[in-house]
Amino acid sequence: MAVVTIEKLCKRYEGAGEPSVRDVDLTVGDGEFMVLLGPSGCGKSSVLRMIAGLEPITSGSVAIDGRPINHVAAKDRDIAMVFQSYALYPHMTVGANLAFGLRRRKVAAAVIDQRVQSVAERLGLTPFLARKPHALSGGQRQRVALGRAIVRDPKVFLFDEPLSNLDAALRVTTRNELVKQQHELGTTTIYVTHDQVEAMTMGDRICIMNGGKVVQIGKPLEVYRNPADTFVARFLGSPPMNLLAARLEQEGAHFFAQVGDGRYPVEGYAAEVLARYANRPVTLGIRPEDLYESTSANAAGARLQPISTRINAVEPLGAETLLLLSVGTGEELIARIGRETELRPGQSTALMLDAAAIHLFDPETTNAIPRRP
């Protein structure tokens, strides 16, 4: 059992004006794969290092299975970490790298041997045991780093952007590998990355951080579908969600979002919530995939409304096409449509917008307008 509880964790570096991590609250369940996602500098690596014990905690607490570990030395926390640069000991062989932590802990030699062999087999490293890290490829080194963590059989795995030094193709296969290993081992895992694709595909839950704070925690698809604010809305999804300035209008019991000269019914929100924003500016969010060419729009459940646009650029990507557009107000949008299109830059055309997929955000706080009160 390894439940990691983080409460009001704060970090301020010496001499820095602002704290890098502010009041982070997070609970990771036993065996869960939790991804800490955020842009560079958002504090996620600091959080990870504080959990590992490589960074002192300014305030707040970290506990494993209820036992606070703030003042426990890193080596006694029963945590293993895979570093971004793998951090293999360059002067030792792969076998020695794997065995080092166990040797230092005075584990019996026979046990060490057996564990090293089994981990090497598990990760396909057996032919490399006698090699030194500089004779290995990036992917192989990454596996050694993973192996070093696995061989310790710890309560918690920590990963600090382990895939960022790999090339794109290797990244895809390796992230599958990692998830598969984690499921087999069932070890609680906290994984830091700035890559939203990794987060979406690997995490049981994701925790999004920005500016040192936790912005949203939830299952990947839930966070995708219900972003808590404009930051999350634009961070997940590529191309990012389009945000437009709009006005919320009320007609009796129905609400409409007025964008330029387009008028879209707003659904899926409780009337009392929307009433507060009646006749006031709101930010309207619509994902690129929820805009359709009028000729091909037929998505089930879509409530399609036309939106008049001017096409600035057409980017055929092969599997899909991106349209860079402007609306009447001058704001720019990106739409994601089918493989081929007749549309050309400079044309004005009406695309179809799925009103059921509209997100509304408060323009001042940038928070999402809640669907229920």
Partner 1 sequence: MPSETITSESRDSAPAGDASAIGARTASRGTIAAFLGPVLVIYAGFIFYPVIRTFYNSLHTVGPQNTSSFVGFQNFTQLLFHDATFWRAVGNTVTFTVVGTVADVLGGLLLALCLFSQAPFGRLLRVIWFTPVLMSYVVVGIIWVWLYDYDWGLINTILRWIGLGAFEQSWLGDPHTALWAVLVTHLWKWLGFNMIICLAALYALPGEVLGAAELDACGWFAKLVYIIIPMLRPTLVNLLVLSFVGKMMMFDLVWIMTDGGPLWATETVSTYVYKRAFNWNSFDLGYPSAIAVLWSVMIVAFVVLMTRLLRQRERLEF
Partner 2 sequence: MQGARASHPLGLWLSHLRRTPLILFLILYTVVTGGPFLWVAAMSLRTTPEIFDNPYGLPAPAHWGKFVDAWTISKYGTYFWNSVIVVGGAVILLTIFGSMAAHCLARYRFRGSRIVRIAILSGMVLPPQLLILSLFQILLQFGLYNTLPGLIIAYVATQLAMTVYILEGFFAQLPQDLFDAARMDGYSEFEIFWRITLPIGMPAVFTTVTLNFIILWNEFLYAIVLLTDDDKRTMPLGIMHFMGAHQLDVGMIATGLMISIAPVILLYAFFSDILIKGMTAGAVR
Q: Which residues bind partner 2 (CB under 8 A)?
A: 13-14, 53-56, 70-71, 73-74
User: Which lies closer to partner 2 via its Cβ, residue 53 or residue 147?
Assistant: 53
Q: How far apart are CA 121 and CA 115, in angstroms?
A: 10
User: Which lies closer to partner 1 via its Cβ, residue 157 or residue 277?
Assistant: 157
Binding site partner of 322, from partner 1, partner 2, none, Cβ cut-off 5-8 A by kind: none
Binding site partner of 13, from partner 2, partner 1, none, Cβ cut-off 5-8 A by kind: partner 2
Binding site for partner 1 (CB under 8 A): 49, 52-54, 74-75, 79-81, 83-91, 100-101, 104-105, 132-134, 148
Min CB(106)–partner 2 separation in Å: 18
Binding site partner of 243, from partner 1, partner 2, none, Cβ cut-off 5-8 A by kind: none
User: Which lies closer to partner 2 via its Cβ, residue 11 or residue 175?
Assistant: 11
Binding site partner of 91, from partner 1, partner 2, none, Cβ cut-off 5-8 A by kind: partner 1
Min CB(54)–partner 2 separation in Å: 6
Min CB(87)–partner 2 separation in Å: 10
Binding site partner of 71, from partner 1, partner 2, none, Cβ cut-off 5-8 A by kind: partner 2
Query: Could you write out the three-class secondary structure of the chain?
Result: CCCEEEEEEEECCCCCCCCCEEEEEEEECCCCEEEEECCCCCCHHHHHHHHHCCCCCCEEEEEECCEECCCCCHHHCCEEEECCCCCCCCCCCHHHHHHHHHHHCCCCHHHHHHHHHHHHHHHCCHHHCCCCHHHCCHHHHHHHHHHHHHCCCCCEEEEECCCCCCCHHHHHHHHHHHHHHHHHHCCEEEEEECCHHHHHHHCCEEEEEECCEEEEEECHHHHHHCCCEHHHHHHCCCCCCEEEEEEEEEECCEEEEEECCEEEECCCCCHHHHHCCCCEEEEEEECHHHEEECCCCCCCCCCEEEEEEEEEEEEECCCCEEEEEEECCCCEEEEEECCCCCCCCCCEEEEEEEHHHCEEECCCCCEECCCCC
63 touches 5 (CB < 8 A): yes
User: Which lies closer to partner 1 via its Cβ, residue 93 or residue 250?
Assistant: 93
Binding site partner of 56, from partner 2, partner 1, none, Cβ cut-off 5-8 A by kind: partner 2
User: Which lies closer to partner 1 via its Cβ, residue 85 or residue 238?
Assistant: 85
User: Which lies closer to partner 2 via its Cβ, residue 71 or residue 372?
Assistant: 71
Q: How far apart are CA 254 and CA 250, in angstroms?
A: 6
147 touches 125 (CB < 8 A): yes
Binding site partner of 75, from partner 2, partner 1, none, Cβ cut-off 5-8 A by kind: partner 1
Binding site partner of 90, from partner 2, partner 1, none, Cβ cut-off 5-8 A by kind: partner 1
User: Which lies closer to partner 2 via its Cβ, residue 71 or residue 134?
Assistant: 71
User: Which lies closer to partner 1 via its Cβ, residue 89 or residue 332?
Assistant: 89
Min CB(75)–partner 2 separation in Å: 10
Binding site partner of 294, from partner 2, partner 1, none, Cβ cut-off 5-8 A by kind: none
Q: Say how many CA atoms lie within 13 Å of 66 toward its Cβ.
A: 1
Min CB(73)–partner 2 separation in Å: 8
User: Which lies closer to partner 1 via its Cβ, residue 88 or residue 343?
Assistant: 88
Position 357, amino acid = A
Min CB(185)–partner 1 separation in Å: 18
Min CB(33)–partner 2 separation in Å: 26
| CA angle 79–81–86, rounded 5-degree value | 160
29 touches 188 (CB < 8 A): yes
Min CB(122)–partner 2 separation in Å: 28
Min CB(75)–partner 1 separation in Å: 4
